[in-house]
Structure 1
Amino acid sequence: MNTADLGLPVAVPSTALFTDQYELTMLQAALRSGTADRRSVFEVFTRRLPEGRRYGVVAGTGRVLDAVENFHFDETILGFLRERAILDGPTLDWLADFRFRGDIWGYPEGEVYFPGSPIMRVEGTFAEAVLLETVILSILNHDSAVAAAASRMSVAAGARPLMEMGARRTHELAAVAASRAAYVGGFHTTSDLAAGFRYNIPTVGTSAHAFTLLHDTERDAFTAQVQTLGGGTTLLVDTFDVTEAVRTAVEVAGPDLGAVRIDSGDLLLIAHRVRQQLDELGATKTKIVVTSDLDEYAIASLAAAPVDAYGVGTQLVTGSGHPTCSMVYKLVARADSDAPGAPLRPVAKKSMGAKTSVGGRKWAARRLDEHGVAEAEIVGTGPVPPELTDHQLQVPLVSAGTVVAREPLDAARDRHFAARSGLPLSATQLSRGEPVLPTEYI
């Protein structure tokens, strides 16, 4: 859900300049050569998953729909392009009336993907489809990277809640997108209020070490926080001596203290000691929250520790070592003319090395074994085999320029849990390995 769903005002600036200059210069050249109106098909895919990853997560689809809907050239933007002499007059005139009027199909948000999966397919004239390349890749590469990291952390955390706390570790706008992607991937809350406002994600937050240091004593700081936020608050106990802080926290808030947070040190050892101390003090229901540069491996190492929730920042918003998914946007089919109904023919890059692609407008389906577990990602260009008809992955997102697939963010989150649970068990292993499903072309 976004703020528009809540009836709140939202600024929707044009996304037209979230692009590379060569998208516009290609447009100008195509207009001059008479090829701009040829029907074309572009596809988004990745040739490989980040090293060691077993699956990818599609995230950012809802943001892509917003970007496509708001991709237009107002007078200010046209003036900038004119002043810089980036484009000629006829091209600027063409852009003045631009709206994407084609079709977009894609894997629904939250779905998993594999090398070669046609995650998104953009169909229209060459002119209108080529303009969307950069903004689509920018969103999908970032959001899918964060969602994949979040999914792995969600697996490692099991039933324990995850809090996204990475706003201070990335660009302020990227932080909002990262919060959204993390929620799709399995996180429960965010500390970023802009993300809470924009996407209705539950928000959390209490205090930092600075609040403790502001006061003359740790007791004074805890007292002020409890008097303000109530006994159910979370007190940060590692500013000085953890043992003394836990004792003071229970004395101030009572045995019904909500939680204590540990942000440094040997988290495994300290969590066990703190749990024992809390129980001895009668605070048996007080939870333990840990933070401090966690990633999926650190979370997994704490599985046997008496930890109740995790807060993750840097590693999450940077994709846990893989800040992009290396997705590309390639022309895979085009008509030989701009005549209505001109048939499409496959095209593909055939350069040396790994940067090749498979031509043709593709469909995708997931083949299941006799137990209903996924066993292969099937990608084809011809008729869909009858046995795969009900297992196709792409859905309509934009039809004739109109968005047709808006949905609440929770729908994408639920879809991801369902898709992940339908993979072989080895998908949830954190050890390095090959993609859990092979991609088969037919």
Structure 2
Amino acid sequence: MTGQFDVVGPEAIRAGRATDAYFDRTVETLEHAGKNPRVVAEVTADQFPTGEFEVFAGAKDAATLLAGHDLDVDAVREGRLFDGGPVMRIEGDYLEFCRLETALLGFLSHPTGVATAALEARLAAPESTVMSFGSRHVHPSIGAMIERSALIGGLDGISNVAAGEVIGREASGTMPHALLLCFGRGNQEDAWRAFDEAVDESVPRVALADTYSDEVDEALRAAEAVDDLDSVRIDTTSSRRGDFRHIIREVRFTLDAAGHEDVGVFASGGLGPEELRHLRDVADGFGVGSHVSNADPVDFALDIVEIDGEAVSKRGKLPGRKEVYRTPDGGHHVALADAEAPEGGEALLEPLLRDGEVVREFDVDEAADRAREDADRVGFGAESGE
């Protein structure tokens, strides 16, 4: 059948149809047997701390999914770094959320991986502008998730227009190589000037400077062709790049020598944290794509840990409802919920839903601040690799 995208729509997700088939069989069996126990379930990646912190994201969509169901839910706040133990705890009759497990885990697993990768990039160049350029690498239906998670991880802006409309952020971007190619070889000045004349004055004047000619040549020509040029962007294909750091330094030196000290140099094209650390003292900003957008989802699982007030678990899992704490030394402490909290420990599971109603606000900027502060506390992104 043509004319439709292969996309599972929001109605199917809300209705619990975006589920693994065995949950349908579970509902049928429990209803046949007249069983619907009250349970406590926890979402975890690792049961114990491993020293590998990750950035929690996706709680907004998870809350939207669970809203309206007779459940109490506690969760770590978005932007918090966690290392083992539960990131979410659900209490209610099991059939209230049985069919929602598959979608719930997806709403948490993928955004958390993306936000974690974004924070890695952010901390690799903490004083630079770092933009999210990666939504072209993923299915367009999840573009908004990619961009929102990138912002939670601390990136400065996004490129996807529709995603920006969904999350309430204006997309940024200037020109692709296609624009220069449309004007033809030798006519780069015409392309840069046409862009300057056509686009709204609020859009930064950033000229792509590596389409037909040497990066230094095009950067200098762009600076001389466009008054008040903000930056040049270097996006040299990796196969023709050579020593990228040296190219950027040469561009910077040449611009300065010609009196264009105010023109910045922005780098993009297959960059990750290692490249950002290598280039952050010679480039003013970066576009990061696949490192963020193609991040591996975090392997969350949902497990029942209590039934009708009795601690239970499947083999290899930890029974009983648990709490997680941030300790004063930046550690992540996992304990039974009724155990004494560690001295000075801050409980990380906070109310998300009460009686099916969402009781939390979701602010991307606050989440990004939280991630940056937590990273400092736990040593995430330390260049020593620890």
TM over 0.5: yes
* 1:193 paired to 2:161: yes
Deviations along 1:318-376, whole A, 9 cap, x unmatched? 11xxx1111111111111xxxxxxxx1111121xxxxx2101011221221xxxx3134
- Taking the aligned partners of 1:173 and 1:122, their CA distance within structure 2 comes to 28
- Alpha-carbon distance between aligned partners in 1 of 2:58 and 2:48, rounded to the nearest angstrom: 17
What does residue 23 of structure 1 align with? Answer: 23
**Alignment check: 8 A CA contact 2:51 2:83 kept:** no
Q: Match of 2:210, SS?
A: coil
Residue deviations 1:78-125, cap 9 Å, x none? xxxxxxxxxxxxxxxxxxxxx51111101011111112x210011110
Equivalent residues in 2 for 1:409-420, closer than 5 Å: 409-420=364-375
In the alignment, residue 288 of structure 1 is paired with which amino acid?
A: V
Cα deviation for residue 176 of structure 1 reads 1.5
Q: Displacement, 1:58?
A: 0.3
SS of corresponding position for 1:348: coil
Specify the SS of the correspondent of 1:189.
Answer: coil
Give the Cα separation in 1 of the matches to 2:204 and 2:159: 18
Q: State the partner residue of 1:349.
A: 314
Taking the aligned partners of 2:383 and 2:343, their CA distance within structure 1 comes to 33
Q: 1:12 to 1:131 in 2, by over 3 A?
A: closer
8 Å contact kept, 1:59–1:110:
yes
Alignment of 1:46 with 2:9, yes or no, is no
Cα offsets for 1:386-407 (capped at 9, x unmatched): 735x611110000001111122
Structure 2 CA distance, aligned partners of 1:411 and 1:293?
Answer: 29
1:315 lines up with 2:291 in the alignment: yes
Instruction: Return the match for 1:267 from 221, 244, 253.
Output: 244
Listed one character per residue, the Cα deviations across residues 188-214 of structure 1 (whole Å, up to 9, x for unaligned) are 100011221111234211111010010
Moved more, 373-382 or 38-47: 373-382
> How many Å separate the matches in 1 of 2:384 and 2:376?
18
Match for 2:298 among 325, 342, 345? Answer: 325
| Alignment match of 2:196 (pick from 223, 226, 230) | 226
CA–CA distance in structure 1, aligned partners of residues 83 and 96 of structure 2? 28
Q: Equivalents in 2 of 1:190, 1:13: separation in Å?
A: 27
Aligned-pair CA distance for 1:175? 2.0
Partner of 1:358: 318
Letter in structure 1 aligned against 2:333: E
Instruction: Provide the C-alpha distance between the structure 1 equivalents of 2:350 and 2:46, rounded to a whole number of angstroms.
Output: 21
Aligned pair count reads 366
| Distance in structure 1 (CA, Å) of the matches to 2:197 and 2:244 | 28
Q: Once superposed, what is the RMSD of the aligned Cα atoms? A: 2.1
Identity within the alignment, %: 27
CA contact 2:322–2:334 (8 Å) conserved in 1? no
Q: How does 1:3-402 map to 2 (within 5 A)?
A: 13-15=11-13, 16=15, 17-36=17-36, 38-47=37-46, 54-69=52-67, 99-115=68-84, 117-216=85-184, 217-229=187-199, 232-241=204-213, 242-254=215-227, 256-264=228-236, 265=241, 266-304=243-281, 306-319=282-295, 323-335=296-308, 344-350=309-315, 356-368=316-328, 373-385=329-341, 387-388=343-344, 391-402=346-357
Give the C-alpha shift of residue 410 in structure 1: 1.6
Given that residues 77 and 349 in structure 2 are in contact (C-alpha distance below 8 angstroms), is that contact kept between their aligned partners in structure 1? yes
1:49, 1:56 within 8 Å by CA — same for their partners in 2? no
Q: Which amino acid aligns with 2:322?
A: K
Tell me which amino acid in the other structure corresponds to 1:382.
Answer: D
SS in 2 for 1:398: strand
Q: Give the gaps of 5 or more residues in structure 1.
A: 1-10, 70-98, 336-343, 351-355, 434-442
Structure 2 CA distance for aligned equivalents of residues 100 and 127 of structure 1? 10
